[in-house]
A and B are shown apart, each in its own frame.
Chain A
């Protein structure tokens, strides 16, 4: 798995990291990937199952919007790559996305993505994350570019495991916590909504997603409204009545 190119990538990252102690290695990896390939953005997820996922690193701009969209909609290349264990390539997003991802697709195109690629991070049959790559121009990755993307995927795999190795058992490495910022409220809100609407936690997350989709808001904002008790999801007569209390 640790091809020489992946090791070279990691070597460069480490060299860059020693020059600046404050840097976050997964973020550096995403940035290096965007520099090395004809791409405009990259995002790195750790996942255990769709929904149980944490954005570890993302490059600025459109990529941030796209990762937010995927998390809000609960669909997209990252979830597909994780579920199937295979890379996902959508080089002509404008034509293919609306049918493949009815929620995420049009929104992603509107946000400025023209091509999307996702590579699962896996070890044998175990999958534990995804590397998402975006481009504002349509078009496939060439053979050499795909190999380079796979090398970055390998490097990301090694890096995440390396970081986890440094962390105390049962805890996430600080570098892996970085992307967590802004996400806890989604899971807190899931907990609150599960009590309010008397539904399971996965169903509560779906309710939050549905609400965000309907209002065209990021899920984090809807979650924030729930946590701050400005929004409730109460069950009545088998129907979920959403009441905004302020």
Chain B
């Protein structure tokens, strides 16, 4: 059932999106589409956990949107169970499925799906989400098919963790540049204060800080206001 001839190509395509300008939304949509194609299933949905561990639907092929939302809202279904346990939830007997997830299974059957499988997005101990595969027939996945589905889930995990690392570093560069800008801004403001008030340079920092405290403003904000000329410095020179 697996389309092996597409498999290698899909892995290369996904790996490629990891190195070019990475867009998480695009990447996850490509991944769900590729999963449907490679696994010869009829629908796929991917859920991710936020910082508090609550799951959100991140990408899905159109037909299964409502089923995914149902799972999240009712906290019921294979994806939820897979995320909680960190283990694949596959090849569940239809009768068992109805007992375990009555609402979800009913909806899935009504939508024309005979079986649903879920694989965790996991790196070592960290589970960041899960992917659902929807089949119109009551299909049993062979062990090799489960491995391949898990490999696709692993790619999603690597891509997302990579993006998180890059985003964290990006934030750091912004902080670094921000801190540098602040330093320069304050020095420039000191020069303006020195020139406007006649204060010795050594006393200008204190003058700006006093003004910031008095008005409950941060130092950078006051420095910016000094530069913009919106601070009244009357009396500063004699203070």
Contact = CB atoms under 8 A, between A and B. Distances in A.
A188 B170 contact: no
Contact of B179 (A53, A172, A195): A172
B138 interface: no
Given A52-B181, A54-B183, A124-B166, A46 B189 contact: no
**A contacts with B: majority SS:** helix
Contacts of B98: none
Contacts, number: 97
Contact of B172 (A53, A164, A190, A193): A164
Contacts of A126: 170, 173-174
A196 B176 CA distance: 31
A231 B166 CA distance: 47
Given A46-B180, A170-B182, A170-B220, A191 B194 contact: yes
B158 interface: no
B170 A48 contact: no
Interface string B85-112: 0000000000000000000000000000
A48 B191 CA distance: 21
B169 A161 contact: yes
Interface of B: 166, 169-170, 172-184, 187-196, 201, 204, 220, 227
Given A180-B183, A190-B188, 18 more contacts: A54-B183, A54-B184, A123-B169, A126-B170, A160-B176, A161-B169, A164-B172, A164-B175, A170-B178, A172-B176, A187-B187, A188-B190, A189-B191, A191-B192, A191-B194, A192-B195, A193-B191, A201-B188
17 contacts: A46-B180, A52-B181, A161-B169, A164-B172, A164-B173, A172-B176, A172-B179, A172-B180, A176-B176, A186-B187, A190-B188, A191-B190, A191-B194, A192-B192, A196-B195, A201-B227, A227-B194
